[in-house]
Structure 1
């Protein structure tokens, strides 16, 4: 990301919109903060060298969801249940399943920093609105976890894999939407994991998983990337498992056994896919020079240490408190 004044301006506008949403005390202010975020993301998309229709698709989808939200606000004082309309509008806005197809159709033509903004910052106002509405989101949560974990199996594009992973993690967050502390912690740790993965992918210029097999990358670099992906899927004892463990604990305490089972099975599917690819990349099709296989990189080692030590540290702090 080149730090020019235009990008700094619009990224700051997105941050202002998120802060407005967090501090809003009425629906109009919340809607305004979402529109500030939308109108700031569209110019960031249009600055790419590749001409595409991604900004138009994003703007149309967000306009439709905002229109449904305004309709819900208009029916606030009538006999119609406005929460249904508001919930549907937020599910479209954040790209939860089955309203996720617009993300996949536009994601290939955006830069990685825009991808990070779309998967993290822009979704915070929508998730905040869903927690305020306090509606039952079990069906949407199960659907997002199932589709996100199943559809990621046939993907070779890194961006689409991260998109389906985002849909899956949205399902996990929606399952704990009644507990504000849990989903906020989940979003913070998911954002950190996504940032680590995107930094490595952008640095290595990898767009497809096949490049991991045929490129002459260091073995430690490959291991670090796969550990980050497995952490995103929730494999213990990595960072991604820590937040899923907190969600599972709350689900079991509330006797939500169906959600717990779906979450565990979908996590197993995602871990199977990532581990299968990692075995291919590091064993069968490895063409690297053997005496350079374990050449160390400080960045790779730091990322591996962060992923592998997070869960033991969190468990130790929890036992001490």
Structure 2
């Protein structure tokens, strides 16, 4: 139902059908959160339901007003529909619910919230035209996402703020369907890999990374993934940011692009903070050993290092 609801929204040709897709999506994600019933999951499900319900009510009101012409200017209707979609996405300044519910959820459910749940609202935003509001939300999301993660000790909250930062980059190329889909696919692969490793070793807080003994291949893989998520070349995570920068230069959006790049460096700093804790606590063991050879880990490493190969193939 979760997969089908997003496809309903993507294939719809009117606002009511898109809204129905979003509602089915919400009602199918809540049972996933409540898979293991405890206090944390109940609180997360309730917060998710309330925030999504508020945004859905706003949206359906504006759609009904849109159908009754001349009640409200189109510009205002578009703006309020965009606000409702930003609430659904957890974009700043409507972001406070996202770190809160992610701190109460399991890693694999967090990865769905950060990836798949973004597709339908982003598609709907690409059908609306309000550049000024979009620019404000991009700058706020990028800045809040980078500054909010600085003082976090919880890895889940840190990843939530990281997701808000990446959302700003996704919104910057929202008008080009091909570009934001490429960005989302690469970002999803990175998030799924990071969440898999955090879930495997039951990481919840930064200091746990120092105390739990990971195998060397997984350490190396997590190190590359964190650098890749920060958008550092020559890793694959640099490619979507490169495409975004190129697109924004073509659109003459230089000032916003510079703000985004500067705040992106701050996110790279808190990714590196996770990694330095891990590497400074390295004990006197063999640093490179194939005793822990794992196909999934090797695949993640190869994907992360595939950008130079892609550039060479493109030049040829």
TM-score in terms of structure 2 length: 0.92
d(CA) in 2 for partners of 1:64, 1:318: 46
> 1:274-289 maps to which residues of 2 (within 5 A)?
274-283=271-280, 285-286=281-282, 288=283
Cα offset for 1:123?
1.6
Secondary structure of the residue that 2:150 maps to in structure 1?
Answer: helix
d(CA) in 2 for partners of 1:156, 1:305: 30
> 1:46-195 maps to which residues of 2 (within 5 A)?
46-51=34-39, 52-76=42-66, 77-78=69-70, 79-80=72-73, 81-136=76-131, 137-195=134-192
Cα offset for 1:301?
3.1
Give yes or no for the alignment of 1:306 onto 2:303.
yes
d(CA) in 2 for partners of 1:280, 1:54: 29
Moved more, 140-149 or 105-114: 105-114
Give yes or no for the alignment of 1:272 onto 2:266.
no
1:3 is matched with: none
Which runs of 5 or more residues in structure 2 are unaligned?
A: none
| Contact 2:108–2:196 (CA under 8 A) maintained in structure 1 | no
Which runs of 5 or more residues in structure 1 are unaligned?
A: 1-12
In the superposition, relative to structure 1, how do residues 260 and 44 fare at CA in structure 2: closer, same or farther (>3 Å)? same
Report Cα offsets for 1:78-113 as digits up to 9, x if no partner.
332310110000000110011010111211221222
Secondary structure of the residue that 1:122 maps to in structure 2?
Answer: helix
| Contact 1:218–1:293 (CA under 8 A) maintained in structure 2 | no
| Contact 2:209–2:277 (CA under 8 A) maintained in structure 1 | no
d(CA) in 1 for partners of 2:104, 2:268: 27
| Contact 1:228–1:307 (CA under 8 A) maintained in structure 2 | yes
2:27 is matched with: 39
d(CA) in 2 for partners of 1:317, 1:135: 38
2:195 to 198, 206, 209: 198
Give yes or no for the alignment of 1:315 onto 2:305.
no
**Aligned residue-pair number:** 304
| Contact 1:20–1:29 (CA under 8 A) maintained in structure 2 | yes
Give yes or no for the alignment of 1:217 onto 2:214.
yes
1:249 is matched with: 246
Cα offset for 1:300?
3.0
d(CA) in 2 for partners of 1:170, 1:291: 39
Cα offset for 1:174?
0.6
CA RMSD of aligned residues (A): 1.5
d(CA) in 1 for partners of 2:14, 2:309: 39
d(CA) in 2 for partners of 1:127, 1:63: 18
Cα offset for 1:49?
4.0
Report Cα offsets for 1:139-187 as digits up to 9, x if no partner.
1001100110111111122211111111011000111111111111111
d(CA) in 2 for partners of 1:241, 1:106: 29
TM-score in terms of structure 1 length: 0.90
d(CA) in 2 for partners of 1:124, 1:83: 19
2:10 to 22, 43, 46: 22
Secondary structure of the residue that 2:103 maps to in structure 1?
Answer: helix
| Contact 2:78–2:128 (CA under 8 A) maintained in structure 1 | yes
d(CA) in 2 for partners of 1:212, 1:140: 33
1:7 is matched with: none
| Contact 1:219–1:282 (CA under 8 A) maintained in structure 2 | no
d(CA) in 1 for partners of 2:310, 2:171: 23
Moved more, 311-320 or 113-122: 311-320
d(CA) in 2 for partners of 1:244, 1:294: 31
| Contact 1:226–1:274 (CA under 8 A) maintained in structure 2 | no
